[in-house]
Amino acid sequence: MRSKSVLLSEKLKTKKLFESVKDKCERIFETKQNVDHFEEVIALLEQNEESSIIAQRAIVKVFIRFLQAKEFTKNANKEFRDKLKHYYNSTKNELLRIIKSEQSDEAIQLCVLNLMKLLSNEGKYPIEDVKHSYFPFEFLKSIIAAILREDRDMSAIIAKFDEYVEYDDVKHSTLKSLLFLLKEKNGDTSDVTELFMHNVFNLLSSIRLPILGKIKRKRKGQKISSENESNLLCEPLDVELPKFKLEYEKAADLFASVWLQFISLKMPTKLYRNILMILDDHVMPHFRNPLSLSDFLINSFNVGGSVSILALSSLFILIQKCNLEYPDFYTQVYSLFEPNILHVKYRARFFFWSDVFLSSTHLPEYLVAAFIKRLSRMALVANVDALMIIIPFIVNLFVRHPNLSILMNRSDKQSVIDDPFDNEEKDPLKTNALESSLWEMKTLQSHWHPKVAKMASFINKPLPEKENDLSEILETYFEDVLNEELVKELNGDLIIDNKVKKTLLEFWK
């Protein structure tokens, strides 16, 4: 452990270095003949992290002053202008190198912020004479290319960069940059790593297009503007110059092109899940032709497990709203109804969308009967919390298809031995479900949990007129059921010590 004297010495050394660099930069700005002193400051950027941070603070400030003073274009001395541009570009390149280095996330975040400060000022005070509004697109593209590393998780850095993506001009240019970079990757996939794909997703998923015709909210501290106004990082100072406006239709087409390029690359399973979680709400609404996503979604649905579950909602949108032809859709959904689905992370989502798919009263009865029987078999091995979902789900199917109540009426006449239903058959049409019964529900009437036994007795009663509201029970988990049992009133409020409750919970698990 370093002593106080050593720490004090290092602190004084750091302060001295900062004052020295700051003084050099001041002298460069005040006396143009000192422009070559930039070499010494840029050299510090190449040294250790601490020296680099000190140099960044000073050199970025002085270049911003040069930009705002229009020294890049208005200074009469051409030799000075050329040198200034040379050192400016060298500084940008060195900062881009730092992003690709092994420095800490905090140091790289600072580097990105400094680059964006330079970009913002360069957009307002261009380093070349321009007769129109200007955005340093190539500069931004180089920043994005540096951020999207193949060998490092850049999520913390991208989160900081995301603050700028809310500006319309940055949003548009970021999409253009991503399209260019992803097309390059599709041409040569040799360096497309999982880390690269996750970095792209973190950046791309942060881009939200405005909903056409609605008011959009700007960054914290900014006013809310309508879609006819622009929110620019590089807003031209000359009021005569036309401002960039983010046109929704063009932006949406660009947005869709970027996403299509992205999902055409090889996808890690975890990333499949992340994409599918946001696809239906944040991506598909901006596609002029959502059917262009059909191959990706069908392939995702065929992956199996949680990926298939997460693909359901987007796939259903294509089938219902875009007339996607998918003859085997219900057969594929049926194949997901296995006991292991009751224990996955996205169980609630799965049952929600399954309920939506099976909500039509025009579905063939053999198909609905097959789902009822498959669910009934799953119920025999399900935990209590899953049964709280399965049984009301089955009841809803009967309410929609009352003719299937014949399955309920046969419950006393069949058992597992003489049940014609083939639970191993993959095709719902061939399962013989219509010839079966709900002996499984009869069995569950002897369940150890009284609530389950009561729910299973629905087969002994007339069907309810209304469906069960599944939204109230989809998020039911075993802990909820156990807690309910533990806190039942017993001659008043029963207070159970949290340690005891935790012990019981672990036991039941």
- Whether residue 509 is predicted with pLDDT greater than 80 in this model: the reply is no
φ, ψ of residue 469 to 5 degrees: the values are -85, 100
- Look at 60-69, 286-295, 401-410 and tell me which has the smallest mean pLDDT: 401-410
Burial of 361 per CB tally in 10 Å (0-12, 13-18, 19+): exposed
Residue 80's CB is within 10 A of a number of other CB atoms, namely 15
**CA 386 – CA 474 distance, rounded (Å):** 9
Instruction: Report long-range pairs for 318-323 (Cβ below 8 Å, ≥24 apart).
Output: 318/290, 318/291, 318/293, 318/294, 321/290, 322/290, 322/291
> CA of 243: how far to CAs of 15, 35, 69, 122, 232, in Å?
43, 34, 22, 16, 9
DSSP conformation class of 76:
S
pTM of the predicted model as reported, rounded to 2 decimal places:
0.84
- Whether residue 95 is predicted with pLDDT greater than 70 in this model: the reply is yes
Domain coordinates of the chain in residue numbers? 11-125, 135-235+244-266, 337-476
At residue 380, the pLDDT reads 95
**Contact yes or no for 64/110 (Cβ under 8 A):** no
Helices (H), 100-187: 105-124, 137-147, 155-165, 168-187
> CA of 427: how far to CAs of 331, 334, 340, 364, in Å?
6, 8, 19, 14
Q: Which of 210, 257, 244 is nearest to 136 (CA)?
A: 244
- Whether residue 377 is predicted with pLDDT greater than 70 in this model: the reply is yes
The model's pLDDT over 195-254, given as tens digits with 9 standing for 90+, comes to 999 999 999 999 999 766 543 444 444 433 444 556 999 988 877 778 889 999 999 999
- Look at 15-29, 130-144, 146-160, 393-407 and tell me which has the smallest mean pLDDT: 15-29
First to last CA, the chain: 46
Name the 3-class secondary structure at 215.
coil
Q: Which residues on neighbouring strands pair with residue 216, listed in sequence order?
A: 225
Burial of 224 per CB tally in 10 Å (0-12, 13-18, 19+): exposed
Structure-block tokens of residue 377: 């078999």
At residue 3, the pLDDT reads 62
The model's pLDDT over 72-88, given as tens digits with 9 standing for 90+, comes to 998 889 999 999 999 99
DSSP conformation class of 205:
T
